[in-house]
Amino acid sequence: MLFIAGATGFVGSHLLKALQKDAVEARCLVRTEEKARVVRALGFDAVTGDITNRESLKGKLKGIELVVHLVGIIQESSGITFNRVHVEGTENLINEALSAGVKNFFYQSALGADLNSPF
């Protein structure tokens, strides 16, 4: 089963449509119950949590074969920094995946690649 973090974002929502057509099973991490209802209406499992809070991820990757990490921000806002989301959040998701025995991890950058960027 796939685990998708960022399933309700731009790329994630298009990924869900493609997976739905192929009847692929996926568990999606969402931050709100409202978003969980949207994901469930498409036929996918939804769990609430936040990659910036590792405790909220505990146990949610059990039985997962592949994590698809699509969470990202393109600008900072109050309390939501590049470091918090792109570094700490990614570390949390990777560490939880390792704890759960996940074999594969796919990460898509929201910012692109820049050798001069600290992110």
Neighbours of 51 (CB within 10 A): 24
- Does residue 92 sit within a domain? yes
Query: How does pLDDT run across 23-63, given as a tens digit for each residue?
Result: 999 999 999 999 999 999 999 999 999 999 999 999 999 99
Query: How does pLDDT run across 96-118, given as a tens digit for each residue?
Result: 999 999 999 999 987 766 777 66
Query: At 101, phi and psi to the nearest 5?
Result: 80, 20
pTM here? 0.89
β-pair partners for 27: 3, 45
- Does residue 62 sit within a domain? yes
According to the model, what pLDDT value does residue 83 have?
Answer: 87
Q: Which domain holds residue 23?
A: 2-107
- Does residue 52 sit within a domain? yes
According to the model, what pLDDT value does residue 50 have?
Answer: 97
Helix (H) and strand (E) counts in the chain = 4, 5
Q: The domain spanning residue 103 has which CATH number? A: 3.40.50.720
Q: Hey, which bits of 1-119 come out as E strands?
A: 2-5, 26-30, 45-48, 66-69, 104-107
Would you call 17 helix, strand, or coil by DSSP? Answer: helix
Running DSSP on this structure, what letter comes out for residue 70? -
Number of domains comprising the chain? 1
β-pair partners for 66: 2, 104
- Does residue 18 sit within a domain? yes
